[in-house]
Amino acid sequence: MLNYFLKGEKGTRLRFMGMLLSAILVLLSVFTLTQKGLNFGLDFTGGYLTEFTTSQSVELKELQSFIAKNHNGEFELTAQGNSHFQLREAPSASTTSTTANSLDWQSAVTQNDDINAQVLSSAYIGSQVGDELFDQGCLAMFAAMIAVMIYLAVRFEWRLAVGSVVALVHDLILVLGLFSLLQIEFNLTVLASLLAIIGYSLNDSIIVGDRVRELLRVQSNNVLSPATIINNAIKSTLTRTLITSGTTLATVASVWLLAGAPLQGFAIALFTGIVVGTFSSICIAATLPELLGLSAKNYEVKVDAHTQTLLDMP
Amino acid sequence: MLSFKKDKKPSTAKFKLSYIAMLIVLVLLAISALPNLYPNKSWLHVSSTPHSETQSLPSTKTLVTFLNKQGLEVEQGLDKQSTINVLLNEPTKSAQAQAAIKAQYPNMQVKIVEHATSPTWLQDFGLSPIKLGLDLNGGVLFVLDVDLDKAVDEQLVSAYQQAKSIIIKQKAHGVKAQQTQQGFEINALPNATDKLTPVIEELQSRFANLAVVTSNNGSVKTAKFSYSEQGRSSFDKEVMGQTLTTLRSRIEELGITEAVTQRQGKHRIRIELPGVQDPTEAKRIIGATASLGFYQLKEIDGQTFNMQSGGTIKLDPVPIFTGDHINNANIGRDDWGKPLVQLSLDGQGGDAMSAFSKANIGKPMATVYSEYSQNAKGEVVKKSEVINVANIAQHLSSRFSITNMKSQQAAADLALLLRAGSLTAPVTIVHEQTIGPSLGSENISNGLAALMLGMGITLAFMALWYRRLGLIANVALILNLTSLVGLMSLLPGVVLTLPGIAGLVLTIGMAVDTNVIIFERIKEERRQGRAPYQAIQEGYKQAANTIFDANITTMITALILYGIGYGPVKGFAITLALGLLTSVFTGVYVSKVLSQTLYLKMGKKAGVKAHA
């Protein structure tokens, strides 16, 4: 692998440096994931969540101690804004009743004249439901990956397919790593965005891979090395990749900025996913096949006239 | 203008049909998107309940003044013969007004009904705005867990009890029923084996899903009863279906019109109640498992029941009839002013009652009230209580009353539950969520702001980067959004949620991808020295493959997400999947037509060479 760094064109060197960086980032993500784990939201843990606003801005600490006086269990209070708070309680172990064990804090904050809270929303999720949702989420991720792999294996040469799938796993691990590192709440919408990332990460990888395949076929006389062909493919798709990622990032950023707290985690996940997805489509999806020995010969032998027409059918 | 026509001629015939088809699709989708400009308004419908006898509607004027006095300003009040329709200045306060009216006029039925505000010609086509999910509309969500295991156990116990009484009725001496781990079995001594078959047949006609295995154990013939896998699954299906029907009619009784009640997974039921703000009443009624049964007293071999007043009593385990046969139930008061429930039975129940009371005048009959509740350990247990025992004074028909109710509230609840039907399996609420109307409308405006900003940035960028081609992409993008909104309004079962709006915004960002791929191709073809028209032709052709590949993987993930996601996540998957369809349609087909006709021909006419 070392000679890839020493010789070769500038583009190739950059790609391999990027791959090395990716490998380091993946290791770091796995490290934080094992050390810190994910901050699972109510959807997965179960429990009570109450969201309320106060008529005037209240210090978090003051409110915390006020509620503590009227609450006999454990709770977690977070500020969403100056006068917008969220209170989370663990599901009570003994009973499965839907009324929180200490509803009196609610009446206390709503009746207190200084706080004068107004409850915006409240949620209760049984812990069993949370476990089920988690299992189901994992199942969905798994199913999506398998389905996509089958599709790629049919559509592409296996080396290109492996490159795309490794890039995809890389993207997911990095996003999860970020969520673990910053301890951002991991809820159902974040899970949905992970699935969207699977789709979009592949999108980029496929477009580069498509071009690699096309160039390999055109220049099947073996004049150019695979590395050069890959570099050319990346060069010719780079503008498209940057523009599309740019407009998508712009829209995701506007969701992040404007759509408010409920979609914050969703937007952060997608934003990171698109950034690392763009990066990995170049540094992993296109580079790994080279390491695996992709060459023009793979296409000379494999693609006869009949399959060629089949492949070209939309 | 003449030259324009001239240019078009060679390929006219080939293109015209597809042009027209495309135009029709676009226009139809645009029309379907129109109603979204006229959001629904929630009105209050006030009418007297059909079950109460003497309560007349207050006049519209009285009602309006009453509401105004409560600080709920009325914008419009309409008198519609049997109902009064009221529109508030702030429709988000409808739930509050509903509660106020209910408190003032307890016998009135108040419903919150969505009224379309779009022009009548749109409504005549059956077009309506996109349905909004709970997170955008505000409301209450319940997910109920149906305890099917418990229901099966109950069913087995009841079958066992009935087996015992069948044996006695058929005077099958030497035949004995016995409970086992899996269910129960009936043993027949050698001299009574011929009496076993009629017992089994009778039992199977009552419990169709029960599987029976007969075996000879020495000289004793044994029939084991239990639920086979198949019988169990058809039993589960039955119970779930019955629970859904019961819950739907209960919600209807509560006056909630636009509720969504559906099965979620194997043993869950998801109930969405838009517009409801106070979950307590809905919770009390939805989760209630109360049922009634009427029993004959039986001193020998009877089952022991607890009396509400204390003590126990022995009853025949097979009821004369159950609450299922009750057609209508109203509350009333007896001569001493105590609350009671007046019942009227359906044909079958009436016949049973009539036959029984005729034969048993002067004998007592017990009313048993059963309810599932949780004990200290959190286990679900069935509690059955005899609420009254009365001597049958005369030949009863299909109308009679149950006395000895604890309170007015208990009587009212029981009447409602009897009208709506009882639940065969105990249910527990495993997920409950209340979203305030202000939070919902805040979510909508935030989502729309994000959509506007994302769209604005994308449009501006495309126009600056690609100039003239960019304008085509922008027209395609706007058409894309219109088509997507139109499609979502048109398809039944599509619900817009907050993540759905995020999916909409995301689609806008990704939709330009098709155009970017194509335009980059066109540029490349131009660099290789092709003429503009050919470059465009070639660019669209070459890019089609890549676009297909890129979109199908996203489509796969969207479909998987739709398949297993619930609620808001499902909304996201729907917008994502539909957005892919519309963006390929507008990005590839529509923009191809646009660039071929407008860009090239207009460009030629103006004498400007197309440059990209």
Pair A195, B560: CB distance under 8 Å: yes
Dihedral sign of CA atoms B261, B98, B78, B108 in order:
positive
* Angstroms from B514 CA to nearest CA on chain A: 9
Residue B2 has pLDDT above 50, yes or no: no
Strands (E) in A2-46, as ranges, are 39-40
B167 residue type, one letter: I
Q: B337, exposed or middle or buried, with CB in 10 Å at 0-12, 13-18, 19+?
A: exposed
Between strands B495-496 and B131-132, the pairing is: parallel
Determine which of B434, B462, B514, B557 to mutate to test the interface with A (most A C-beta atoms within 10 Å).
B557
Rounded mean pLDDT, B161-183: 81
Which range scores top for mean pLDDT: B86-95, B268-277, B407-416? B268-277
Interchain contact A310–B (C-beta under 8 A): no
- B457/A248 touch (CB, cutoff 8 Å), yes or no: no
pTM for the model stands at 0.78
Tell me how far apart the alpha carbons of residues B143 and B567 are, in angstroms, rounded to a whole number. Answer: 11
* Angstroms from B467 CA to nearest CA on chain A: 14
Interchain contact A145–B (C-beta under 8 A): no
SS (H, E, C) B326-337: EEEEEEEECCCC
Tell me how far apart the alpha carbons of residues B232 and B374 are, in angstroms, rounded to a whole number. Answer: 25
Within 8 A by CB and 6+ apart from B213, the residues are B223, B224, B226
* Nearest chain A residue to B507, by CA: A248
**With contacts defined as CB-CB under 8 Å, which chain A residues touch B465?**
243
pLDDT on residue A236: 86
**With contacts defined as CB-CB under 8 Å, which chain A residues touch B137?**
none
Dihedral sign of CA atoms B583, B586, B589, B592 in order:
negative
pLDDT on residue A92: 60
pLDDT on residue B557: 85
Domain boundaries, chain A: 2-40+130-312, 47-125
Within 8 A by CB and 6+ apart from B486, the residues are B28, B29, B30, B31, B32, B33
> What digits encode the pLDDT tens for the residues B184-237?
888 888 887 778 888 888 888 878 788 888 888 777 888 888 888 888 888 888
- A98/B524 touch (CB, cutoff 8 Å), yes or no: no
pLDDT on residue B412: 79
**With contacts defined as CB-CB under 8 Å, which chain B residues touch A129?**
143, 430-431
- B433/A124 touch (CB, cutoff 8 Å), yes or no: yes
Interchain contact A101–B (C-beta under 8 A): no
Dihedral sign of CA atoms B134, B135, B137, B142 in order:
positive
Between strands B268-274 and B291-296, the pairing is: unpaired
Facing residues of B401 across strands? B342
Tell me how far apart the alpha carbons of residues A32 and B109 are, in angstroms, rounded to a whole number. Answer: 58
pLDDT on residue B460: 94
Average pLDDT, chain B: 81
Q: Which residue has the higher pLDDT, B300 or B452?
A: B452
Tell me how far apart the alpha carbons of residues A192 and A122 are, in angstroms, rounded to a whole number. Answer: 22
CATH topology of domain A2-40+130-312: Multidrug efflux transporter AcrB transmembrane fold (1.20.1640)
Of A123, A192, A198, the CB nearest to B572: A192
- B499/A98 touch (CB, cutoff 8 Å), yes or no: no
Tell me how far apart the alpha carbons of residues A147 and B554 are, in angstroms, rounded to a whole number. Answer: 11
**With contacts defined as CB-CB under 8 Å, which chain A residues touch B516?**
239-240, 243-244
* Angstroms from B451 CA to nearest CA on chain A: 7
Highest CATH level, class, for A47-125 = alpha beta
Of A128, A140, A263, the CB nearest to B430: A128
pLDDT on residue A98: 43
Dihedral sign of CA atoms B198, B203, B206, B207 in order:
negative
Rounded mean pLDDT, B598-608: 57
* Nearest chain A residue to B449, by CA: A258
Tell me how far apart the alpha carbons of residues B165 and B161 are, in angstroms, rounded to a whole number. Answer: 7
**With contacts defined as CB-CB under 8 Å, which chain B residues touch A123?**
431-434
Rounded mean pLDDT, B375-386: 71
Of B449, B509, B551, the CB nearest to A250: B509
- How far are the Cα atoms of A149, A151, A297, A299 from residue A302, in angstroms, in the given order? 20, 18, 8, 5
Q: Is B396 helix (H, G, I), strand (E, B) or coil?
A: coil
Residue B598, phi then psi, degrees to nearest 5: -65, -60
Residue B107 is classified by DSSP as T
Of B377, B431, B435, the CB nearest to A121: B435
Rounded mean pLDDT, B558-565: 82
Residue B256 has pLDDT above 80, yes or no: no
- A151/B552 touch (CB, cutoff 8 Å), yes or no: yes
pLDDT on residue A255: 92
Determine which of B497, B547, B561 to mutate to test the interface with A (most A C-beta atoms within 10 Å).
B561
* Angstroms from B549 CA to nearest CA on chain A: 7
**With contacts defined as CB-CB under 8 Å, which chain A residues touch B496?**
none
Size of interface A-B (CB pairs under 8 A): 223
Dihedral sign of CA atoms B563, B566, B570, B572 in order:
negative
> What digits encode the pLDDT tens for the residues B29-81?
999 998 888 888 878 888 776 555 445 677 788 888 888 888 788 888 887 77
Determine which of A251, A257, A258, A309 to mutate to test the interface with B (most B C-beta atoms within 10 Å).
A251
Pair B273, B294: CB distance under 8 Å: no
Alpha helix segments (H runs only) across B217-257: 229-253
Residue B366 is classified by DSSP as E
List, as ranges, residues 168-227 from A with C-beta within 8 Å of B. 188-189, 191-192, 195-196, 198-200, 202-203, 206-207, 210-211
Tell me how far apart the alpha carbons of residues A216 and B150 are, in angstroms, rounded to a whole number. Answer: 65
pLDDT on residue B7: 45
Q: What is the pLDDT along chain A (314 residues), one digit of tens a residue?
A: 455 555 557 778 888 889 999 999 999 999 999 999 998 888 888 888 888 888 777 788 888 888 877 776 778 888 877 778 888 887 664 444 444 445 567 777 777 777 777 788 888 887 777 788 788 888 888 888 888 888 888 878 788 888 888 999 999 999 999 999 999 989 888 988 888 888 888 888 888 888 888 888 775 556 778 888 888 888 888 888 899 899 999 999 999 999 888 888 999 999 999 999 999 998 999 888 888 877 776 665 444 556 656 666 65
> What's the maximum distance between 2 C-alpha atoms anywhere in chain B?
110
Between strands B260-264 and A84-89, the pairing is: unpaired
Q: How many residues does chain A have?
A: 314
User: In which band, very low, low, confident or very high, does the pLDDT at B15 lie, cut at 50, 70 and 90?
Assistant: low
**With contacts defined as CB-CB under 8 Å, which chain B residues touch A248?**
506, 509-510, 513
List, as ranges, residues 125-144 from A with C-beta within 8 Å of B. 125-126, 128-129, 132, 136, 139-140, 143-144
Q: B20, exposed or middle or buried, with CB in 10 Å at 0-12, 13-18, 19+?
A: exposed
Facing residues of B366 across strands? B295, B389
Rounded mean pLDDT, B464-492: 90
- A254/B544 touch (CB, cutoff 8 Å), yes or no: no
Domains and CATH numbers, chain B: 2-37+436-605 (1.20.1640.10), 41-115 (3.30.70.1510), 149-232 (3.30.980), 288-433 (3.30.1360.200)
Of B265, B430, B458, the CB nearest to A251: B458
- A250/B465 touch (CB, cutoff 8 Å), yes or no: no
